[in-house]
Amino acid sequence: MDETDQTPAAVPLAFDITGVMAALPHRYPLLLVDRVVELIAGERIHAIKAVSMNEQFFQGHFPGRPIMPGVLQIEALAQAAGVLAVETLGLAGTGKLVYFMAIEEAKFRTPVEPGCLLDLHVVFTQKRARVCKFAGKAMLGDKIATEVSFTAMIADS
Protein backbone atom coordinates (compact mmCIF):
# COMPACT_ATOMS: atom_id res chain seq x y z
CA MET A 1 0.00 0.00 0.00
CA ASP A 2 1.45 3.38 -0.92
CA GLU A 3 0.92 6.63 1.01
CA THR A 4 -1.94 7.80 -1.24
CA ASP A 5 -4.08 4.81 -0.18
CA GLN A 6 -4.01 5.66 3.53
CA THR A 7 -6.83 7.53 5.20
CA PRO A 8 -5.51 10.32 7.42
CA ALA A 9 -5.91 9.64 11.13
CA ALA A 10 -8.44 11.73 13.01
CA VAL A 11 -6.75 14.50 14.99
CA PRO A 12 -7.91 14.53 18.61
CA LEU A 13 -8.98 17.91 19.99
CA ALA A 14 -8.95 19.17 23.58
CA PHE A 15 -10.69 22.23 25.06
CA ASP A 16 -10.45 24.18 28.28
CA ILE A 17 -13.56 25.85 29.72
CA THR A 18 -13.31 28.69 27.18
CA GLY A 19 -13.54 26.22 24.29
CA VAL A 20 -16.44 24.40 25.96
CA MET A 21 -18.30 27.71 26.37
CA ALA A 22 -17.67 28.53 22.71
CA ALA A 23 -19.32 25.23 21.69
CA LEU A 24 -22.26 25.24 24.14
CA PRO A 25 -24.88 27.89 24.96
CA HIS A 26 -25.09 26.69 28.60
CA ARG A 27 -23.81 28.88 31.43
CA TYR A 28 -23.51 28.60 35.19
CA PRO A 29 -25.23 27.09 37.07
CA LEU A 30 -26.24 24.66 34.29
CA LEU A 31 -22.93 24.34 32.44
CA LEU A 32 -21.86 20.82 33.46
CA VAL A 33 -18.74 20.26 31.33
CA ASP A 34 -15.50 21.80 32.60
CA ARG A 35 -13.09 20.62 29.93
CA VAL A 36 -12.64 18.26 27.03
CA VAL A 37 -9.75 15.84 27.39
CA GLU A 38 -10.13 14.32 23.93
CA LEU A 39 -12.56 14.75 21.07
CA ILE A 40 -12.35 12.77 17.86
CA ALA A 41 -14.83 14.36 15.45
CA GLY A 42 -17.44 11.94 14.18
CA GLU A 43 -16.56 9.35 16.81
CA ARG A 44 -16.25 10.16 20.51
CA ILE A 45 -15.54 12.61 23.29
CA HIS A 46 -13.99 12.35 26.75
CA ALA A 47 -14.88 15.35 28.92
CA ILE A 48 -14.62 16.17 32.63
CA LYS A 49 -17.04 17.57 35.19
CA ALA A 50 -15.35 18.53 38.46
CA VAL A 51 -18.07 18.04 41.06
CA SER A 52 -17.74 20.67 43.79
CA MET A 53 -19.57 21.08 47.09
CA ASN A 54 -20.36 24.60 45.83
CA GLU A 55 -22.87 23.24 43.28
CA GLN A 56 -26.33 24.70 43.97
CA PHE A 57 -28.09 21.33 43.83
CA PHE A 58 -26.16 20.01 46.85
CA GLN A 59 -28.08 22.40 49.13
CA GLY A 60 -31.16 20.22 48.81
CA HIS A 61 -29.92 16.89 47.40
CA PHE A 62 -29.37 15.80 50.16
CA PRO A 63 -28.48 17.75 53.31
CA GLY A 64 -26.05 15.59 55.26
CA ARG A 65 -25.48 13.24 52.29
CA PRO A 66 -24.82 15.29 49.14
CA ILE A 67 -25.30 13.32 45.92
CA MET A 68 -25.34 14.71 42.36
CA PRO A 69 -28.81 14.07 40.91
CA GLY A 70 -28.87 11.40 38.20
CA VAL A 71 -30.69 13.69 35.79
CA LEU A 72 -27.80 16.15 36.03
CA GLN A 73 -25.32 13.37 35.33
CA ILE A 74 -27.30 12.63 32.17
CA GLU A 75 -27.37 16.35 31.37
CA ALA A 76 -23.56 16.46 31.71
CA LEU A 77 -23.29 13.55 29.26
CA ALA A 78 -25.72 15.30 26.91
CA GLN A 79 -23.67 18.49 27.04
CA ALA A 80 -20.52 16.51 26.20
CA ALA A 81 -22.47 15.01 23.27
CA GLY A 82 -23.46 18.54 22.28
CA VAL A 83 -19.81 19.55 22.05
CA LEU A 84 -19.11 16.42 19.99
CA ALA A 85 -22.02 17.18 17.63
CA VAL A 86 -21.08 20.86 17.26
CA GLU A 87 -17.48 19.98 16.38
CA THR A 88 -18.39 17.05 14.12
CA LEU A 89 -21.14 18.82 12.19
CA GLY A 90 -19.46 22.25 12.06
CA LEU A 91 -22.27 23.98 13.94
CA ALA A 92 -20.22 26.56 15.85
CA GLY A 93 -21.48 30.06 15.06
CA THR A 94 -24.41 28.82 12.93
CA GLY A 95 -27.15 29.55 15.47
CA LYS A 96 -28.06 25.85 15.58
CA LEU A 97 -28.66 24.12 18.91
CA VAL A 98 -28.55 20.47 19.95
CA TYR A 99 -31.76 19.47 21.80
CA PHE A 100 -32.58 16.29 23.72
CA MET A 101 -35.28 14.15 22.06
CA ALA A 102 -35.13 10.89 24.00
CA ILE A 103 -33.37 9.25 26.92
CA GLU A 104 -33.25 5.46 26.99
CA GLU A 105 -31.78 2.75 29.16
CA ALA A 106 -30.56 5.09 31.91
CA LYS A 107 -28.83 3.25 34.73
CA PHE A 108 -27.34 4.74 37.88
CA ARG A 109 -24.66 2.55 39.41
CA THR A 110 -22.56 4.62 41.83
CA PRO A 111 -23.39 7.84 43.74
CA VAL A 112 -21.53 10.95 42.60
CA GLU A 113 -20.42 13.08 45.55
CA PRO A 114 -18.64 16.41 46.01
CA GLY A 115 -14.93 16.20 45.24
CA CYS A 116 -15.36 13.68 42.42
CA LEU A 117 -13.98 14.07 38.93
CA LEU A 118 -16.72 12.75 36.68
CA ASP A 119 -15.28 11.38 33.43
CA LEU A 120 -17.85 11.77 30.66
CA HIS A 121 -17.44 9.34 27.74
CA VAL A 122 -19.84 9.68 24.81
CA VAL A 123 -19.81 7.99 21.41
CA PHE A 124 -21.94 8.45 18.33
CA THR A 125 -24.15 5.44 17.62
CA GLN A 126 -25.96 7.09 14.69
CA LYS A 127 -25.31 10.34 12.87
CA ARG A 128 -27.66 12.10 10.48
CA ALA A 129 -28.01 15.70 9.37
CA ARG A 130 -30.72 16.58 11.92
CA VAL A 131 -30.87 13.65 14.38
CA CYS A 132 -28.00 11.96 16.22
CA LYS A 133 -27.92 9.06 18.67
CA PHE A 134 -25.33 8.63 21.39
CA ALA A 135 -24.25 6.23 24.10
CA GLY A 136 -22.70 7.69 27.22
CA LYS A 137 -20.99 6.59 30.41
CA ALA A 138 -20.14 8.78 33.37
CA MET A 139 -17.22 7.23 35.20
CA LEU A 140 -15.66 7.66 38.64
CA GLY A 141 -12.21 6.23 38.06
CA ASP A 142 -12.85 2.70 36.82
CA LYS A 143 -16.44 2.56 38.19
CA ILE A 144 -19.49 3.35 36.08
CA ALA A 145 -21.65 5.96 37.80
CA THR A 146 -24.22 6.38 35.03
CA GLU A 147 -24.84 4.91 31.60
CA VAL A 148 -27.45 6.00 29.08
CA SER A 149 -28.43 6.02 25.43
CA PHE A 150 -29.99 9.19 24.10
CA THR A 151 -31.14 10.98 20.97
CA ALA A 152 -30.73 14.64 20.09
CA MET A 153 -31.91 16.83 17.23
CA ILE A 154 -30.19 19.75 15.56
CA ALA A 155 -32.52 22.75 15.32
CA ASP A 156 -32.47 26.50 14.83
CA SER A 157 -32.16 28.47 18.05
CB 113 within 8 A of CB 61: no
Give the integer Cα–Cα distance in Å for 139 and 157.
31
Question: Across-strand partners of 80?
Answer: none
Q: Give catalytic residues, as residue numbers.
A: 61
Number of alpha carbons in the 13 Å side-chain half-sphere of residue 69:
14
3-state secondary structure of 55: coil
